[in-house]
Amino acid sequence: MNNTPVVIVTGASRGLGAAVACWLGKAGAAVTLIARSEEKLNETGDHVQRLGGKPLVSRADVAQYDACREAVDKTLDRFGRIDAVVNNAGIIQPISAIARADPADWRYNIEVNLIGPFNLIRAAATALSRQNGRIINVSSGAANLALESISAYCAAKAALNHFTRVLAIEEPELTAVAVRPGVVDTDMQTFIRQEGPRAMPSDMADYYRQLKDRGELEPAAIPARSIAWLALYAPREFSGRFMSCDDDKISTPALEMFGESFSNWL
């Protein structure tokens, strides 16, 4: 186990997080899978194991520090170390104008998208430092855009990017990267298409619908491959940066390492 990389992935029950975990499994990594849905986590764990990885399922809400602490403790008990964390868990709701947003929903968005990464990093910081580890914070292009009706998501991702910069300065022995996955075909996009027309300007809702209709949404496995590579190999000079998954400095070595597909997946 000493030479096996150990990575914690949040939001690992589906979509991008599950795909990241599977690429890591293909690399033979030990992967702690965190999400709120244990049944879906177990499915991801089965895929990781089939691909050659070593899964550990830990049902948790990243908005709760104690749950993150418990997941870290379980990881150390099972694998003895932590080499990287991928903070992928995220929600977009509430989709609402600021003046009509439910305060509890708005707060919970920040708790998942911003405080969640803090919670896991805080809980794992000592173990990560021992390994000169990597922290990959999954952000969004929304961090740099003023998008009507998704104010909490935009604010949380902008804050996450700056949090990553501060973290890189405070913890120079770690490599902390914020990454933009692009427009990915996940449940979040489905939710936007379903709920967006009720709150978004009509042209904005049409834009998200047309992304799907025109086949312009990226399969989750493609940006996930880049994120998995970053978790294993992101160089120190990337620390503090906000990068795109399709950046050649990431996507090219990721493709060379992992190949095109999950062999033996499903």
Instruction: Give the CATH number for residue 174.
Output: 3.40.50.720
Instruction: Please state the domain count of the chain.
Output: 1
Three-class secondary structure of residue 250 per DSSP = helix
pLDDT digits (tens, 9 = 90+) for 147-156: 999 999 999 9
C-alpha to C-alpha distance for 27 and 53, rounded to whole angstroms: 7
pLDDT of 262 reads 60
- Quick count: other Cβ atoms within 10 Å of Cβ 190? 13
Which residues carry out catalysis? 153
Q: Flag whether 168 is in a domain.
A: yes
Mean pLDDT, residues 164-179: 98
Q: Flag whether 110 is in a domain.
A: yes
Phi, psi at 119, each rounded to 5°: -55, -50
Q: Flag whether 215 is in a domain.
A: no
C-alpha to C-alpha distance for 161 and 232, rounded to whole angstroms: 20
Q: Flag whether 83 is in a domain.
A: yes
Percentage, residues of the chain above pLDDT 90: 84
Peptide bond into 94 cis (omega under 30): yes
Q: Flag whether 97 is in a domain.
A: no
Q: Flag whether 142 is in a domain.
A: yes
Q: Flag whether 236 is in a domain.
A: yes
127 Cβ partners below 8 Å, 6+ apart?
A: 72, 75, 76, 81, 82, 133
Question: Count of residues for the chain?
Answer: 266
Confidence band for 93, pLDDT divided at 50, 70 and 90: very high
Phi, psi at 78, each rounded to 5°: -80, -45
Amino acid code (one letter) for 125 = A
Nearest to 175 by CA among 137, 129, 135: 135
Q: Tokens 């003895």: give the residue.
A: 80
Confidence band for 264, pLDDT divided at 50, 70 and 90: very low
Confidence band for 266, pLDDT divided at 50, 70 and 90: very low
Amino acid code (one letter) for 101 = A
Tell me if 51 sits within 8 A of 262, measured CB to CB: yes
Nearest to 201 by CA among 155, 156, 147: 147
Look at the alpha carbons of 173, 73, 164, 14 in this order and tell me if their dihedral is positive or negative. positive
Pick from 41-45, 215-219, 222-226, 248-252: least confident: 215-219
Full domain range(s) for residue 13: 6-91+102-182+220-258
> What is the residue-wise DSSP string for 181-194?
--SB-SHHHHHHHH
C-alpha to C-alpha distance for 5 and 168, rounded to whole angstroms: 21
Work out the mean pLDDT of the chain and round it to a whole number.
94
Q: Flag whether 204 is in a domain.
A: no
